[in-house]
Amino acid sequence: MRTRAFTLIELLVVIAVVALLIGLLVPALGKARRAGREVKCLANLRSIQMGQLAYCDDYKGWLADVGLPHGGTGDPRLSFIYTLSQYFGSLPRAYDPSSTGEDYFTPEVLRSPGDASRFWLGREGGQQDAGSGVWRKTSYGMNNYLSRTYNPGTSEREPFDRLMKIPRPAATVQFLLMTEAGNPTTGAPDFAVSDHPHVENWGNATQGPVRASAQVSIAKWGGTPRTPAGISAYAYLDGHAATAPFGRVYDGQTRNAFNPEGAF
């Protein structure tokens, strides 16, 4: 009995069907991977934020501070990346964030999945040399309205450095994602190596998305970059973390989720 072989047309149909299935599957896998990274990023933010609340319990409501100015070395040991590290369970061995030694590493909780900034150390996937003293030590930054050191200085009630000073903790952002890019003109690391933005410089609702994008990542998890529709992750002073469009957390200098006096 003769065995019937596939015709050329049948083979082409099978190949077309397989190609169609692959075309449908690959984007779905990409979306699933992206969703997994987003969940991990939110978990990191929640861990940092819960560490902050535990710190508040131990230190009579005081908030952690920042210590990494944009583009400079600063003092990392003043920053939340160090002062909160024992609370989120990632205190590195021989921790010295300013060290050029090979024993320095970034705790996993401080690095957002998919953060491909070139300003990480070379051994962590970036292009920076430890000898420079300036490199990316955290994906996350702290709202400078809550800082004792780098607050805007625009309110008589500042600094907003204690939990009891915050009228609406559930509506006030403390931690967010810093930009991964350097200065587009000079190539300098600027805010990519800082642990805080300067929200007071973001301007009105129209200027905000563009100005903020030079300091923080407002579209890390979707939406259109440099617009109010950009979606990123934020952690709030009551302990919760969530993704939101930039337009929902910033609507000008008097209405935003960063200034405790204008939290909406």
Give the tens place of pLDDT for each residue, 197-256.
Answer: 999 999 999 999 999 999 999 999 999 999 999 999 999 999 999 999 999 999 999 999
Is the pLDDT reported for residue 2 higher than 90? no
The residue-averaged pLDDT of 90-117 equals 72
Tokens matching residue 83: 């002062």
Give the tens place of pLDDT for each residue, 156-213.
Answer: 899 999 999 999 999 999 999 999 999 988 889 999 999 999 999 999 999 999 999 9
Predicted pLDDT at 31: 66
At which residue do the structure tokens 């200027």 appear?
207
Of 42, 84, 81, 82, the residue nearest 62 (C-alpha): 84
- Rounded to an integer, what distance in angstroms lies between the CA atom of residue 106 and that of residue 179? 17
Predicted pLDDT at 35: 86
Of 20, 87, 99, the residue nearest 52 (C-alpha): 87
- Rounded to an integer, what distance in angstroms lies between the CA atom of residue 46 and that of residue 227? 25
pTM above 0.95, yes or no: no
